Amino acid sequence: MDIEFELNAETIVRQHDLTIEEVLSKQMFSHLTKEQAQDVILNIKKMSIIIFNASEKK
């Protein structure tokens, strides 16, 4: 599996939410419907909150 991932300041610090178009532009998500892409975005947000909260408890 070819995973596209670029780590830089622009990808870490976002000024806007991830868009459906950004999700669908990635090869691994290109087959999804817009509704499924929205679910991906919501799941990423949820996981981010869980990870942040867990790291704050340490």
Q: How far is residue 27's CA from residue 53's CA, in Å, rounded to a whole number? A: 30
CA 26, 24, 20, 43 dihedral sign is negative
| Entry field: residues in the chain | 58
What pLDDT shows up at residue 14?
73
What pLDDT shows up at residue 15?
79
Q: Over the stretch 2-49, which tens digit does the pLDDT of each residue have?
A: 556 676 776 677 778 899 999 999 999 999 999 999 999 999 999 988
CA–CA distances in Å: residue 52 to residues 1, 16, 41: 28, 18, 16
Look at residues 53, 55, 26 and name the one whose alpha carbon lies nearest to residue 40: 26
What pLDDT shows up at residue 58?
66
What pLDDT shows up at residue 11?
66
pTM over 0.85: no
